Amino acid sequence: MPAYFLSDSHHGSTFPDNPDSNDMSNLPMNRFAICNETFGDWPLEKALQTSAELGYTGWEVSPFMLNTDARLITHSQREQYRKTVESFGLKIIGLHWLLAKTTDFHLTTHDIDTRKATAAYFEELIRLCSDLGGEVMVLGSPLQRNRGADLSLEDAHKNAAEVLNSLDSTLAKHDVRIALEPLGPVEGNFLNTADEARTLKGMIPSDQIALHLDVKAMSSEPEPICDVIRKNADWMIHFHANDPNRRGPGMGDVDFEPIMKTLEDVGYKGWISVEVFDYSLGAEKLAADSIATLKKYSS
């Protein structure tokens, strides 16, 4: 069992209703979050205490840090995890790496049974997100959405839209939104730009599906990062702060001062969440240096 899991000791629990995910007026002035996988095998309490002391107020969850199969995470485990996070003054803001470390799911495949299974698993993730108090699910997971050699881009969009459209009622019921995440060509071959994500969104009428932007990914776009943010501010609901060198904000060549100013200029009120991929400097330094940059350029 991962270090981030707590004992299963509160059977039969219920969860309070989530606040309106579209209403960001109750977010803290400092809406900086950090992704839980940053801390690796640290005990949960140590990771939360460190994050809180550094000034983070949000906690973004990779489901595989709890269990590689979300269906096996019991209600009592969900409740205990949520209560532990909240006891340190942090809020679980949602999930990302939704399909990481799974093997039986795929978003764009021609295989209809696999798409149906993927939709069913997303429904479980929606319930998990809601049970933990989260409101957004970042849909990246490039390995589980990449186009196969025999799949056209048009068909990939069609298949993905079919899966996502089937989730509308479950998303609405649990007041959770999915944020489509463009990822650069190094990561995969589907939804490489915000424009491509807009194309997919055009096939999905649900207001529960919107956009996530990531600095590392935007660095590979043909347009400057700040232009991508301005162009897509109308439907951006989540934001990852990082650098193309796979470390945190301010730990590479990307200048975060204009990025933070642009987020302010467009009126973005959502969470700014630190997501890193190179852990070699250690979790505490990554977390500390990242939030120092975000605070430095925040008004």
Q: With contact defined as beta carbons under 8 Å apart, do 182 and 217 qualify?
A: yes
CATH assignment of the domain containing 83: 3.20.20.150
Per-residue pLDDT at 299: 75
Q: Is residue 125 domain-resident?
A: yes
Per-residue pLDDT at 30: 67
Q: Is residue 260 domain-resident?
A: yes
pLDDT tens string 51-94: 999 999 999 999 999 999 999 999 999 999 999 999 999 999 99
Q: Is residue 1 domain-resident?
A: no
Per-residue pLDDT at 211: 97
Query: Which residues, given as ranges, of the chain have pLDDT below 70?
Result: 1-30
Q: Is residue 6 domain-resident?
A: no
Per-residue pLDDT at 224: 97
pTM of the model: 0.90
Per-residue pLDDT at 3: 38
Per-residue pLDDT at 6: 44
Q: Is residue 4 domain-resident?
A: no
Q: Is residue 77 domain-resident?
A: yes
The residue range of the domain holding 195 is 32-296
Q: What is the spatial distance between Cα 146 and Cα 258, in angstroms, rounded to a whole number? A: 32
Q: Is residue 190 domain-resident?
A: yes
Alpha carbon separation from 24 to 135, 136, 171 (Å, rounded)? 11, 12, 18
Q: Total structural domains in the chain? A: 1
Q: Is residue 2 domain-resident?
A: no
